[in-house]
Amino acid sequence: MSLLAKYQQPDASGRIQHVTPESAGWRYVGFDAYQLKKGQTLTLESGDKELCLVLVAGLASVKTRNAEFPGIGKRMSPFERTPPYSVYVPHGDKVEVVADSDLELAVCNAPGSGNLPARLIAPADVGVEQRGKGRNKRLVHNILPDDKPADSLLVVEVYTDEGDTSSYPSHKHDQENSEHETYLEETYYHRFNPEQGFAMQRVYTDDRSLDECMAAYNRDVVTVPRGYHPVATLAGYDNYYLNVMAGPVRLWKFTWEKDHAWVNSEEYPRSK
């Protein structure tokens, strides 16, 4: 089973990516991406899933059974590097999205079971942080972290400058019932500036029973069922990715690969 889902031209609904637990061979995470034209309407039923709708680029009006969020959105490209507008939709709900401009919309989903209401996640609600140092710097927007209410979903977006690495030093979160890490499936929705760029992403385990390296291009999705999953950008191309994670415990707890953990230490960057 391939871990790389290539970008597809928009179908009649505007969908360009469709990852389900069945297609990914796992249990929790689903991910869809849409490119909608101005005035186009998208209607979704959440069913037994909770949803997080992320406006990657563009403007929209969003309505659920019990809430309305008209005229949301600000950034017209993710590379404006401002936090996005998002909408949380609980299970058993219906949502209608009207594109108020050309719209790139991500629909993240995972099992839902609670009684949370639909809510707007505005840019001011998004935690912004810089991580790393040296050639391992990145900008992080915490859209739906584990200290904000949801049943299963964790959602974050990350910016990595040309020539830098992220999701690094290599780390993993694939153990259940461990005091050191949680089991979290994960998707990466990649974007590039300029758009013809690509990055290299490797997904691998300690015993190398899984060891794949992929060239992810614009609007491709990489699925991470287990193991380490670093991303390396190439000169000339800045990278954005939207991460969706979910598992049996809604907590992001991971372990570093021992060989590369030193990159977190005072030894790095090493003196020249």
Domain range summary for the chain, segments of one domain joined by +: 13-263
Give the start-end residues of each E strand in 58-210: 60-64, 68-72, 86-89, 94-99, 103-111, 119-121, 127-131, 138-144, 154-160, 165-166, 171-172, 185-193, 198-204
Average pLDDT of the residues in 67-74: 98
Q: Model pTM? A: 0.96
Q: What is the mean pLDDT of the chain?
A: 96
Please list, in sequence order, all residues whose beta carbon lies within 8 angstroms of the beta carbon of residue 57, skipping any fewer than 6 positions away: 75, 76, 77, 78, 103, 104
Average pLDDT of the residues in 111-137: 95
Superfamily of domain 13-263: Jelly Rolls (2.60.120.10)
pLDDT band at 264 (very low <50, low <70, confident <90, very high): confident
pLDDT (0 to 100) of residue 29: 98
Radius of gyration of the chain (CA): 18
Question: Is the pLDDT score of 1 beyond 80?
Answer: no
What is the per-residue pLDDT across 159-216, written as a single tens digit (0 to 9) for each?
Answer: 999 999 999 999 999 999 899 999 999 999 999 999 999 999 999 999 999 999 999 9
Comparing 63-67, 76-80, 176-180, 235-239, which segment has the lowest mean pLDDT?
Answer: 176-180
Residue from 107, 87, 144 nearest 31 by CA: 107
Interatomic CA distance for residues 4 and 213, integer angstroms: 10
pLDDT band at 270 (very low <50, low <70, confident <90, very high): low
